[in-house]
Structure 1
Amino acid sequence: MSTPVVFDPMTLPSDDNVNSYTFCVELKGSRWFLQKGKMIAYYGQINFDGIGHGRFERLVRSSFHSPLHASDWVVAEGSGKMLLADRAFDVNSFDLDDGNLTIRSGNLLAYEPSLALKQSIVPGFVTLIGTGKFVAASNGPVVFMEPPLRVDPQALVGWADCPSPCHHYDHGYMTGVMGGIRSLTGIGGTSGEEHQFEFVGAGTVLLQSSEALMAEQATGFVPNEPGVPGSPGGGGQHGSTPRMPGQLGDLQRRFGL
C-alpha cells in the first residue's frame, strides 16, 4: 500500500497541478478571477469578493465583459496558495500568448486578469483574449485537433484562433433507419452522428475525451448531506437549491437568454 503524499504551503506546486483533478494557484499580492464554488482549500491570506465590488471596478472594466455570468464569478486577492477543483473532473492550465480562445462557460474555472473575458456570440460559451494563464476542467483529458474538423457538440470544450463553428447535419443519417425511428417515436435525442459542429480555417479545437457534458450545477450549491453546514433541509427535491427572484436558470444561462 502506497503512502499518501501530505502537502504543506512549501511543498504545494506553484501555478501547477497537484494531481489530475486539482490545480494550485499561487497569489503573491495579486488577483485571479475565479468561478464560484471551485476553490476547495487555501493557505495564506486570501480574500474573495464579488464582481460588483466597488474597488474592483477598474479591474472588471478591463478584464470581465460578460454581465450574463457576473453572478457566477469572484475576484481572489491576497497572498497564499489556493486549490481549485471541480467534482473530480480533469483540471489543467493553459497559456494564451496574444491569442483568443472560446470555451464552454461551465468548463472555465479561473483566469489571470491579464486576460479579458468576453461573452461569446455562441450561446453557452465565453471568449478569453490576450496573454495569460487560465484553468479549465473537462470530462476526461483534453485532445487538441486541427481544422477542418467536425465534432460532437457534447465533446467540444472550446476553440482557439479560428472562426466560430457552424452546424452540420448528416442528411443520410437523419433520413436513414435510426433517424426515421426517432422522427416517428421521439425516442432518442440528437446524436453526434446526426449533428456536429464544423470548424474550418486555421486554429486549434479542444475536445474532451467523453461525449458526456459536465453537468451544470447551481452556483454556491451545498450538498444535502449529513455533516454539511448550510445544506438544504425539509421538503423539496433532494439536492435542489432555491432560486431568488431575478436569477437566471441553468437553461437560460446555457443558451444565453
Structure 2
Amino acid sequence: MTSQTFDPTSLPEHDNVPGNAYAYCVRLTQPLFMQTGRMIAYYPAGGGQIRFEPLVATSMRGMVAQRFSSPLYSRDWVVATGQGHVLLGDRGYDINSYDLDDGNLTVRAANLLAFDASLELKESIIPGFLTLLGTGKFLASSSGPVIFVEPPVRVDPEALVGWADCPAPSLHFDAGWMGNFLGAARGALLGTRSGEERQYDFTGAGTVLLQSSERMIADPHQLRRLEGEVQGLPVGQLQHLQQVITSRLQQQQQ
C-alpha cells in the first residue's frame, strides 16, 4: 500500500489534506485558537518556531480576554502563534472549514476545533454551545459530512452541529411521547429521549448545520457544568438526583 508523502511544499494552505477528510492543514500567519490535543504535527517556517500557549497561562492575556469569553472551556484551549503549517485532527471525525463574514454562528462546543483570533467567542445561553462573532475562519469536526438546511425545520438534537444568523431553537416534544410520559417523571427518570421524541425547532431566516449521523461528539464540559449546579441543591433534590443516576446506570448496564 502506497500513499502520498507531504512536506511544507505539498501541503495545502488552508484545506483538508488531499484525499483525507479527517486531517486539516492551516498555514499559520496569525494567532489561532484551538482545542488542546488536536494538533497532530507542524512545520515551523524559516527555522522559526510555533508556540502553543494554554489560555490560562498565555503571554497574550489582553488579546485572549477580548476574544475568548468562556471560562468553562478556557482550560481546554490553547493559542498557537508563529509561522508555518499546522496539521489538525479530531479523533477520526470529518473536519471542515467555514468562513464568517460579519456573522453570528452558534456551534456545539465539542465540535468546534479552532478559530481565527479575528473572531470573538462567547458562551451561548444554551448549554454545550459556543457563539462566534465577526469575520474570520473556523474549523469544526462532525460525525460524517455536514449538510446545510434552512428554517423552518425540526432537527434531532444529536445531529445538530450549529446554526448561523437565525434565532436560537426551542424544544419540540412529540405529542405521543408527552402523553405517554405525562408529567415528564418517567422521562426524567429513565432518560428515554431521542430525536424521534424530542427535536430542536428552528424558525425564521438563517442556516442550520447538521452532521449526517446521530453519533454526537462527547463533551466533557457538560459534567463540569452539572457539578457546578449540583452545589446549590438541597438534600432532598440531591437524593432524587441520586435515584435518577442509579436508574440510568442500571439501564445502561442491561
Query: TM-score normalised by the shorter chain: which range applies?
Result: 0.7 to 0.9
Distance, in Å, in 2 between the alignment partners of 1:254 and 1:12 is 42
Are the aligned partners of 1:97 and 1:132 in contact in 2 as well (CA < 8 Å)? yes
1:159–1:7 CA distance, 2 compared to 1 (3 A): same
Matches within 5 A, 1:129-168: 129-168=133-172
Are the aligned partners of 2:171 and 2:200 in contact in 1 as well (CA < 8 Å)? yes
The Cα RMSD (Å) is: 2.2
Q: Given residue 71 of structure 1, which amino acid in structure 2 is its aligned partner?
A: R
How many angstroms does 1:109 deviate by?
Answer: 0.6
Distance, in Å, in 1 between the alignment partners of 2:97 and 2:200 is 24
Aligned length: 220
Unaligned runs of 5+ in 2: 230-254
Q: Give the 3-state SS of the residue equivalent to 1:175 in structure 2.
A: helix
Q: Give the 3-state SS of the residue equivalent to 2:31 in structure 1.
A: strand
Deviations 1:186-205 (A, max 9, x none): 76720111100100000000
Whether 1:17 and 2:20 are equivalent positions in the alignment is no
1:236 is matched with none
Distance, in Å, in 2 between the alignment partners of 1:22 and 1:254 is 32
Are the aligned partners of 1:140 and 1:208 in contact in 2 as well (CA < 8 Å)? yes
Are the aligned partners of 1:64 and 1:117 in contact in 2 as well (CA < 8 Å)? yes
1:256–1:149 CA distance, 2 compared to 1 (3 A): farther
Distance, in Å, in 1 between the alignment partners of 2:15 and 2:215 is 26
Matches within 5 A, 1:1-257: 3-18=2-17, 19-28=20-29, 30-44=30-44, 45-53=49-57, 55-175=59-179, 183=186, 189-216=192-219, 250-253=222-225
Q: Given residue 207 of structure 2, which amino acid in structure 1 is its aligned partner?
A: T
Unaligned runs of 5+ in 1: 218-248
Distance, in Å, in 1 between the alignment partners of 2:82 and 2:42 is 11
Q: Given residue 223 of structure 2, which amino acid in structure 1 is its aligned partner?
A: L
Are the aligned partners of 2:109 and 2:219 in contact in 1 as well (CA < 8 Å)? no
Are the aligned partners of 1:124 and 1:253 in contact in 2 as well (CA < 8 Å)? no
Deviations 1:13-67 (A, max 9, x none): 0111102001101113x21001101111111121010113353122112211111
Distance, in Å, in 2 between the alignment partners of 1:110 and 1:141 is 18
Q: Give the 3-state SS of the residue equivalent to 1:162 in structure 2.
A: coil
1:144–1:256 CA distance, 2 compared to 1 (3 A): farther
Percent identity, please. 56
TM-score by length of 1: 0.80
TM-score by length of 2: 0.81
Deviations 1:166-220 (A, max 9, x none): 11001124436xx69x949x76720111100100000000000011111346xxx
2:246 is matched with none
How many angstroms does 1:84 deviate by?
Answer: 0.7
1:256–1:93 CA distance, 2 compared to 1 (3 A): farther
Deviations 1:137-160 (A, max 9, x none): 000100101000111100000000
